[in-house]
Amino acid sequence: MKYLCLVYREDEKVGALPQCVTEAVATEDPDELEALQQSGHYVTSARLQPAETATTVRVRGGSVFIAGGPAVGTTEQLGGFYLIDARDLNDAIRIAAKMSGARLGWIEVRPLKECDSG
pLDDT in tens, 23-43: 555 555 677 888 899 999 999
- Decide: helix, strand or coil at residue 61: coil
Whether 96 is in a domain gets the answer yes
Q: Is residue 116 part of a domain?
A: no
Structure confidence by residue, pLDDT tens digits, 10-19: 766 655 656 6
Going by pLDDT thresholds of 50, 70 and 90, the confidence category of residue 97 is very high
Looking at the domain assignment, is residue 118 inside a domain?
no
Assign residue 47 the CATH number of its domain: 3.30.70.1060
Q: C-alpha 9: how far from its chain's center?
A: 9
Q: Look up the pTM and report it.
A: 0.76
Domain containing 20 equals 2-111
Considering the domain boundaries, does residue 31 fall inside one? Answer: yes
Confidence of residue 83 (pLDDT cuts 50, 70, 90): very high
Domain count, the chain: 1
The reply to whether 117 falls in a domain is no
The answer as to whether 62 is a domain residue is yes
**Separation of alpha carbons 78 and 107, rounded Å:** 10
Asked whether residue 95 is domain-assigned, the answer is yes
